[in-house]
Amino acid sequence: MTMIRTTGVRRGMLPVAMLAVLAAGCGTHQAGDTADAYRRSHPTPTGISTPSTPADFPCPGESPTPAPPATAHTTGPAAPGDRYAENHGFRVPFPLHGRRRCDGLEAVGRIEAALEPLRKRGDFAPEHTLDALTGLGYPAGKVRSYENGPTGVGFLIEVDASPLCVEGAMDRDSTRADPFGGYPDHSGCDTPSGGH
């Protein structure tokens, strides 16, 4: 009796059948279909708000409608297609909100008051600025001061490890300091040199 062997053919049919099933399903489901269908069938109730920028409140010594402090290097959101802004977004510091903003404004007040006598004397030596800032209790390793033009000094202070940072400058005309909350993809207060 002669038997016809078909096991080789059957083994070859399985991969072909699987390929046919997979090919038939390809391209029929797009990313987001499930989420979009869910949103259409389950709309967000009108009484629920979505998270946004934390609410700010007046800090001690501030008027009832505070304007957020502008930092020298804070820019608005990148316009769509603005590749330069997108590629340098890692250099835009985090703004402070709520209690942290009040802590930052308090630190700025202390710093400006400590540096004002130096400014009035025309003393823009980085080492004297460093002495005044460490005299406020900031550790020397967390304070940097440097020449900022021919008649000025700049400074950067890591007030705490959260981080709460204060950056500013002093020249013949004024002492300016701005608080911020560090940078994305970077720990510490110094401006990052490379992005993600």
Which pLDDT does position 155 carry in this prediction? 97
Pick the residue with more confidence: 86 or 80? 86
Whole-angstrom distance, CA of residue 79 vs CA of residue 37: 30
If we measure between CA atoms, which residue out of 150, 157, 74 comes closest to residue 114? 157
Pick the residue with more confidence: 15 or 127? 127
Which pLDDT does position 38 carry in this prediction? 44
All residues at 6 or more sequence positions from 60 whose CB lies less than 8 Å from its CB, including other chains: 102, 106
Helix or strand (DSSP H, E) at 157: strand 152-160
Which pLDDT does position 94 carry in this prediction? 92
Of the given ranges (102-106, 112-116, 159-163), which has the lowest mean pLDDT? 159-163
Which pLDDT does position 145 carry in this prediction? 97
> In Å, what is the CA distance from 62 to each residue of 65, 154, 191?
8, 26, 29
Pick the residue with more confidence: 48 or 141? 141
Q: Is residue 8 scored above 60 in pLDDT?
A: no
Helix or strand (DSSP H, E) at 35: helix 33-41
Whole-angstrom distance, CA of residue 25 vs CA of residue 38: 21
DSSP class per residue in 58-105: PPTTS-SSPPPPPPTT---PPPTT-HHHHHTGGGSPPPP-HHHHHHHH
Residue spans per domain, the chain: 83-180
Give 72's pLDDT tier (boundaries 50, 70, 90). very low
129 close to 153: Cβ distance less than 8 angstroms: yes
Helix or strand (DSSP H, E) at 13: helix 7-25
50-73 mean pLDDT: 63
Q: Which residue has the tokens 């207060």?
A: 189
Q: Is residue 178 scored above 90 in pLDDT?
A: yes
